[in-house]
Structure 1
Amino acid sequence: MKSDTRSDIDIKDDVENQLRSNLDIDAAYIAIAVKGGVVTLSGFVRSYNQSWEAEGAVKRVNGFTAVANDIEVRLPVFNQRPDPEIPCDAVSAIQAELPYSFEHIRVDVRNGWLTLEGQVDWYYSKERAERAVRRVRGVKGIFNLIQIRPRVPPAEVKRRIEESFGRSAEVDSNRTTVETTAEP
């Protein structure tokens, strides 16, 4: 019987090849360790985008079970900026990527780490907002806390669940309570 699990050595070799083949990553200072299929990346890179790309390279390798991205972002002197200078460029990048929904996204910066908050209608908008700010000069990392607005109002969700319970022979709808809440 053939085993589907790959050896740690094979996984490490594939991760190294993925990193070397990605021109967006300077992998010279990235160390790779693999134990039980868990890939740990350590060392440093010169931009947040390189750290993100390195993690993505691992995710394209067959057989890994998890990835721990412990890569430190060490911005070169010419890319270092004080926090107050970063939000304007971040908002502009989001506006260019999402011209119809950028105003629903807030940006906060602390020690080079961006926090994206707000609400959008689609998951791809959340992803595009993060992608837009990955290359902003001075960014060391991103917390993407953008929420997706529910397409169906909570009251409608409650009504549909209650109707479903009412039709079910397995649920006593008279003894079941359904509550929904809407987050601001």
Structure 2
Amino acid sequence: MIKTDSQLQQDVMAELKWEPSINATHIGVEVADGIVTLAGHVDSYAAKWDAEHAAQRVSGVKALAVEMDVKLPGSSKRSDSDIAGSAENMLMWSTYVPKDSVKIMVENGWITLSGEVSWEYQRKAAVDAVCHLMGVTGVSDQIAIKATVTASTVKSDIEAALKRRAVSDAHKISVEVKGADVTLRGTVQSWSARELAMHSAWGTAGVRNVVDNIAVSY
């Protein structure tokens, strides 16, 4: 069943209210042709992160535009050096992030991560480790992934992963590889299938960048 924009708006608002980590009072939801826009402000970057993921969980969402800003309450404000120290400690204690592989820069509460790792899960772990710290207003992920395999291997690994995971629309997804950059194209029938295809691509060793050109058709 195809949802109207009005139904989709109600579902997204309900999902935001249902998520316990989010205070949805100051978040506005607009929908046009299945494209959801989140506006307003939240009191932490973690809440912004959770709001984005909550909206993506709703069936019928074709795309998401985020126009929320982070307004820290006085009790949450910290110096950049304090945030940098906390972020460094979080990375040091992460079992997924190789020691000294990721560099941290903080400016006005905004964390920029750079460096180089071997796997996408390591890059994701670094972002996850710092995005919930108090005082953070945003996170920029500039971590690179080392290219270690051939294009033909990457393509075959991704296609095999899609089949293993029984993605019903796997045959509709094409995989293009240039060096260590992967582009996925095609049309699937749910956001979850699209996310699974992206996860399969990022789960292949040596993939440095994934371009998502997969459309969702409900």
Structure 1 letter corresponding to 2:15: Q
Distance (whole Å) between structure 1 residues aligned to residue 136 and residue 10 of structure 2? 30
| Equivalent of residue 31 in structure 2, options 22, 29, 34 | 34
2:150 aligned with 1:148, yes or no? Answer: no
The verdict on how the C-alpha distance between 1:69 and 1:102 changes in structure 2, with shifts beyond 3 A counting, is farther
- Who is 1:167 aligned against? none
Deviations 1:84-139 (A, max 9, x none): 22111011112222365041000111111111111111111111111110111110
| CA distance in 2: counterparts of 1:142 and 1:41, whole angstroms | 18
Which of 43, 46, 49 is the aligned partner of 2:46? 49
- Indicate the residue corresponding to 1:120 in structure 2: 117
- The CA distance in 1 between the partners of 2:67 and 2:30, in whole Å, is 11
State how far apart, in whole Å, the 1-side matches of 2:97 and 2:106 are: 23
Match of 1:137 among 111, 134, 139: 134
- Structure 1, gaps ≥5 residues long: 161-179
Match of 2:11 among 14, 19, 27: 14
Choose 1 or 2 for highest CA Rg: 1
- In 1, the alpha carbon distance for the partners of 2:92 and 2:8 equals 39
- Identical positions, percent: 33
Unmatched segments (≥5 aa) in structure 2: 154-178, 181-207, 209-218
Q: Following the alignment from structure 2 to structure 1, what is the Cα–Cα distance between the partners of residues 77 and 105?
A: 17
Question: 1:5 offset after TM fit, Å?
Answer: 3.5
Distance of aligned partners of 1:119 and 1:74 in 2 relative to their CA distance in 1, 3 Å threshold: same
The offset of 1:83, in angstroms, is 1.4
Residue 55 of structure 2 corresponds to 58
Select which of 96, 100, 104 maps to 1:103. Answer: 100
SS at match of 1:58: helix
Does the 8 Å CA contact 1:117/1:146 hold for their aligned counterparts?
A: yes
SS in 2 for 1:106: strand
Residue in structure 2 matching 1:67, options 64, 69, 72: 64
Asked if 2 retains the 8 angstrom alpha-carbon contact of 1:98 and 1:125, the reply is no
* Alignment map for 1:169-184 (pairs within 5 Å): none
Q: Which has the higher strand share?
A: 2
The yes-or-no answer on 1:78 pairing with 2:78 is no
1:42-98 deviations in Å (ceiling 9; x for gaps): 111110000010000111011111111111101111111121221110111122223
Report the TM-score when normalising by structure 2.
0.66
| Amino acid aligned to 1:67 | L
Number of equivalenced pairs: 157
Q: Work out the CA distance in 1 between the residues paired with 2:113 and 2:137.
A: 14
Q: CA RMSD in A?
A: 2.3
